[in-house]
Structure formats: C-alpha cells, structure tokens
Amino acid sequence: MDSQDKKLHDLFERMPHQQPSPQFRDTLMAKVHAEAARKERRSNIIAWSWLVVTVLLILAIGVAALQMTGTLEMSMRLPQIKFDSETIISIKSASFICAIISLLLYADYALRKRYSSKHNYRP
C-alpha cells in the first residue's frame, strides 16, 4: 500500500498547477449565498405554515367544543348572546393567555433570527 501511495504522490507532483478563473470565487460565493437564501426562505415558509395550521386547529377545536356543549348554535340568524360573569372571566383569561403565548412565540422567533444572523448559524 505504501508504494501505491508514493506512486500517487509522484503523479500528483508531476501535474501542472492550474489557477481557477478570476470569477471562480465570486461565482462560488454567489451560489453559496443563493442556496442559503433559498433554505432560509423554505424554512420560513414551513414555520409560518405550521403556525397557520396550529391557529386554525385551535380555532376548530374551540368551535367544536362550543358546539358540543350547546353554547354555539350554527344558524343564519344571530342569537342574542348573554354571558354570565364566570363566562366573561373565562373568555378574558383565555384571551390573555393567548396574547401572552403569541408574544412569547414572536419573541422566540425574533431572538432565534437575531442569533442566527449574528453567529451565522443555520438550523
């Protein structure tokens, strides 16, 4: 095996050294940046798609739960809605929790994006 390595080394030594074209570096870097931008766009589209699907799923579950309990009637006329104080407190609490979760998700997204741009990190 050692003699074969020497032969290969000798053959590579005899080969003339060729310089790449002057535009090689620029072309290669443009391709690398284009690929990175494409991957980032794709990951953003996937992330936003999951967010939309999750929100729609939560809304669908909420509507289904209200329909099953008889609180929500699906009819063409708008019923007169009267809430007692406990229901109003629950709605306000759920809205507050949803707002907090949305803010935390956005803060997480912004911090991850900031970290990846500062440290050239691409998950």
pLDDT in tens, 9-22: 888 888 877 787 88
In a domain, residue 112? The reply is: yes
Residue at token pair 């009637």: 73
Residues 6+ apart with CB under 8 A from 121: 115
Question: Is pLDDT at 72 greater than 70 in this prediction?
Answer: no
Share of the chain above pLDDT 70, in %: 85
Q: Tell me the CA distances in angstroms from 112 to 33, 36, 120, one per residue in order.
A: 20, 16, 11
**Residue 72 falls within a domain, yes or no?**
yes
Tell me how far the alpha carbon of residue 116 is from its chain's centroid: 13
Range of the domain at 46: 36-80
122 shares a domain with 96: yes
Give the whole-angstrom CA distance, residue 52 versus residue 57.
8
Nearest-angstrom CA–CA distance, 72 and 65: 9
Model pLDDT, residue 21: 82
pLDDT class for 75, splitting at 50, 70, 90?
A: low
Instruction: Please classify residue 72 by burial: count the beta carbons closer than 10 Å to its beta carbon, then call 0-12 exposed, 13-18 middle and 19+ buried.
Output: middle
45 and 65 assigned to the same domain: yes
Let me know if residue 25 belongs to a domain.
no
* pLDDT at residue 70, as a whole number: 67
What's this model's pTM, rounded to 2 decimal places? Answer: 0.40
Q: Is residue 13 part of a domain?
A: no
CA neighbours closer than 13 Å in the CB half-sphere of residue 38: 6
In a domain, residue 14? The reply is no
- Whole-angstrom Cα distance, residue 80 to residue 89? 19
Q: pLDDT tens, 80-110? A: 667 777 887 888 888 889 889 999 999 998 8
Domain count of the chain? 2
Do 75 and 88 reside in the same domain of the chain? no
Instruction: Tell me, yes or no, whether 67 and 97 share the same domain.
Output: no
